[in-house]
Chain A
Amino acid sequence: MSSKADAAIIDLLRKLNRNVEIVSRKLERLIEVERSAGGHALRPSVSVPENMPLDVTTLLGLPDHLRKSALALASLGEATATDLSKETSRVRAVESDYLNQLVAMSLVKKKRKGRDVYFYIES
């Protein structure tokens, strides 16, 4: 094999190694998020009846961790997970997961604006 081919393989292996490191770091971060959320973050969420509006009675029926996100979102109007994390003093990844749980429960909607994802309560 030529030295040029060797260099190309070494370069490819380095790139692969870098990608493995990135994936590994992300996995560690996910585990950390799960731990810091007391086991809520990666689990399936509670279920609510279909077409339930996010009014105060629904809000009071939510588990504490989701209620905090929903209430903060109601206060901000429209927000990214980063905006919410500043309001709730929780890490962005946790907030993002909770917001997506609320989206999955059809209580919150989301839309993309450029690179950012905005969450909002439809009223």
Chain B
Amino acid sequence: MAFHSYKGGTGKTSLVVNLGALFAKQGANVCLLDYDFRAPSLNVLFKAKPQYWLNDYLEGKCEIVDTLVDQSARFKLPGKLWVGFSNPSLEALKDIMGKDRKWEVKALTKTLAGKKEIIKDKQVDYLIYDTSPGAQYSSINALAGADLVSLVMKADEFDLEGTKELSKGVYEALGRKSGIVLNKIPLEQIAAGGGAESFGKQIESDVGLPLVGLIPCMCELMAMGGKTIYTIEKPDHTFSKSIGQIAEKLKKM
């Protein structure tokens, strides 16, 4: 599955990490891939220095499984939690921005081949891509590799209009199953919309996709987002419970 958004700052990375950790905590084998090559962030949370980056795989310097680092022992998880990181160095960011369309063709075929390789070699139950916002090449490559796309959005008008375009022009065109995760929603906005259920239904109807989850805005998360994996460290927290509900919905999709 892939987590994507029209705009940045919608909370994709927090969702990906917490969801992946929850699946691994439940005993599943999980692989997270940081496909946000323009603003890598999984390396910050996991404090990782891998031997190979995902950038190296796309350049043909290694196999995709060589990029994966197992985090399950560190967090005492019963299932495996493999993570593939993208290179955050300025050199790598400049390099990725200079790629031409021919290179992107190779990146697409390698993304699709890499997915098969990970599933076969690591026997993962869930492969989750964290992507760049908007219609970036790397993101759409990841969406092409995913069977299920979760569109993460806040509920402002800018997000809503762009999200509708993405849904029609990309997700539908690629024929991927997709759903919306509403994140960072102020409680006042939920109340004004007639409560969570009614508010969710309104967004579903506006975007034309089913609602997978609704997470209220929590200031604490803004401060701790890059430091804490809530589903491991604070399983009773409201955010962890919301992730649990999203996990159950995604399993049924």
Contact = CB atoms under 8 A, between A and B. Distances in A.
B109 A67 contact: no
Nearest to A107: B105
A121 B141 CA distance: 15
A121 B105 contact: yes
A75 interface: yes
Interface string A70-112: 0100110100000000000000000000000000000000000
| B interface secondary structure, majority | helix
Contacts, number: 50
A74 B174 CA distance: 13
Interface stretch (A9-17, A19-27, A34-42, A53-61): A53-61
Contacts of B109: 74, 77, 121, 123
Nearest to B110: A123
Contact of A60 (B104, B112, B113, B169): B169
A67 B101 contact: no
A56 B144 contact: yes
Interface residues of B, number: 19
B113 A68 contact: no
Given A67-B173, A74-B144, A56 B104 contact: yes
Nearest to B145: A75
B175 A123 contact: no
B104 A53 contact: yes
A53 B109 CA distance: 12
Interface in B3-30: none
A95 to B, nearest CB: 16
Contact of B140 (A60, A68, A121, A122): A60
B175 A56 contact: no
B101 A53 contact: yes
Nearest to B172: A64
Given A53-B102, A56-B144, A68 B175 contact: yes
Interface centre among B105, B113, B174 (most CB of A within 10 A): B105
B144 A59 contact: yes
Contacts of A75: 112-113, 116
B170 interface: yes
B174 A71 contact: yes
Contacts of A59: 108, 144
A60 B108 contact: no
A60 B170 contact: yes
B46 interface: no
B106 interface: yes
B199 interface: no
A123 B144 contact: no
Contacts of A77: 109, 113
Nearest to A52: B101
Contacts of B105: 53-55, 121-123
10 contacts: A53-B102, A53-B105, A55-B108, A56-B137, A56-B140, A59-B108, A68-B175, A74-B109, A123-B102, A123-B109
Given A55-B108, A74-B112, A123-B105, 17 more contacts: A53-B101, A54-B105, A55-B101, A56-B104, A56-B140, A56-B141, A56-B144, A57-B101, A60-B140, A60-B169, A60-B174, A67-B173, A68-B175, A71-B144, A75-B113, A77-B109, A122-B105
3 cross-chain pairs, A with B, having the tightest CB-CB distances, nearest first: A123-B106, A55-B104, A56-B140
